[in-house]
Amino acid sequence: MNSTPTSTYKTSETAAAGTSPPVVVITGASAGIGRATATEFARHGWRVALLARGRDGLEGARRDVEKLGAQALVIPTDVAHENQVEAAANAVMACWGTIDVWVNDAMATIFADAMDIAPEDFRRATEVTYMGAVWGTLAALRRMRPRNRGTIVQVGSALAYRSIPMQAPYCGAKAALRGFTDSLRCELAHTHSRVHLTMVQLSAFNTPQFEWGRTTMPNRPRPMGKIFQPEVAAKAIYWAATHRRREVWVGWPAVQAILGHRLLAGFLDRRLGRRAVEGQQSDEPLPVGRHDNLWHPVPGDKGAHGRFDGVAVNTSAQFWLSTHRVAVSGGALVLAAAVMLLTLRW
C-alpha cells in the first residue's frame, strides 16, 4: 500500500495563512542533486537551509529558492568537519527555531583505480561522503529526538549495494552509510522514537560531479547507462522526506543493480570488470587545466545540471509506480477481474 505522510508539514498554503513553513537542511546544496532538491522543497513552500563549501554555488541556490518565494539560509560548511556541521545546525536553530527534515547529500568522487589513489585523497573522499552524512545525521538527531519528530534523508546510490570499479571510495562510503543508517534505525526503534530515517538509492544522474570529480582516467568521466535529470532525484527526495518509506529506489537501473547483486553478485563482478572501466569514460580527453573539488570548491556557479542534457531523461516510470502502489494494485485487480469476466463469457 502507499506510504502515508510523515507528519502534517505545513506548505506554502498554510504559510500564507499565517503559520510558519517547515524547515529543511540540505548538505551539498550548491550544485547537482542537492541544488535541485533545494528548489523542490522551495517549490512546496519550505524554508531551506543551504550547506556546502562553495560560496558561488550557495548564492546561486539562494537565488533559486527565493525566486520561488521561499526563504533561504546560506551556511558555508565543509561537512567533513563535525564542528562545522554542528555550528550549521545551531545557526539554523537560532534563525528558525526548528529542523523538520535534514537531507544528507554532500559527496566527493574519485574516478581512479583504488591502487592509484593517494591515502589522503581516499580519506578525504570518505570523510566527505560517509562521515559528512554521519555528522549531519547526529546533528539532526540531537535536535529531533527531544521533540520526537523529524525526518533524515540519506541520499544514497545503487552503488551502496552494487559496487563498480574506479569508484572505490564512493562505493565504500555509500555502503557504510547504509549500514550506519540501519544501526540507527534499530536504536530509534528501541526507544520508540518517531524520528524517521529513510534512504534514497539513485541511478545515474546528470550533475556536475563528472566535471569536477578527481580522476586519473585519460578521458572525461561519464555516468554509466541511462541518465536521469537531477529533478527526478529531487522529487524522490522530497517524497521520501514527507512519507514514511524505509527506502526509495529511483530508476529501473537502480532496481536492476540492487536485485541483480542479490542474485548474481559474482557474475556482475566479472561483467563490470570487463565493461565498467571504459563505460565510465567518454571519447573526449580531459580538458586542459581541469580543476577538481576534492579539497577545494571549484569557483563559479555550476547549477544542478551537468553536460548530459541532450540524453538525460526527465521522468522515471519506476519511481511513479513505486509511489503509487495502491493505484497500481487496484489497476491490476481491475485488469484481473476483466480478464476473468471475459473468460467466463467465452
Give catalytic status of residue 130 as yes or no: no
Task: Find the Cα–Cα–Cα–Cα dihedral 57, 136, 234, 126, rounded to 10°.
Answer: 80
Which one of 9, 130, 170, 238 is the catalytic residue?
Answer: 170
Determine whether 334 is exposed, middle or buried from the number of CB atoms within 10 Å of its CB (0-12, 13-18, 19+): exposed
Sign (positive/negative) of CA torsion 245, 249, 255, 260?
negative
Cell of 239: 517524497
The values of phi and psi at residue 161, to 5°, are: -105, -50
CB 200 within 8 A of CB 155: yes
Q: What angle do CA 142, 146, 150 make, to 5 degrees?
A: 75
Cell of 346: 467465452
Residues written for the chain: 346
Cα 294 from Cα 225, distance rounded (Å) = 25
User: Which residues belong to the active site?
Assistant: 170
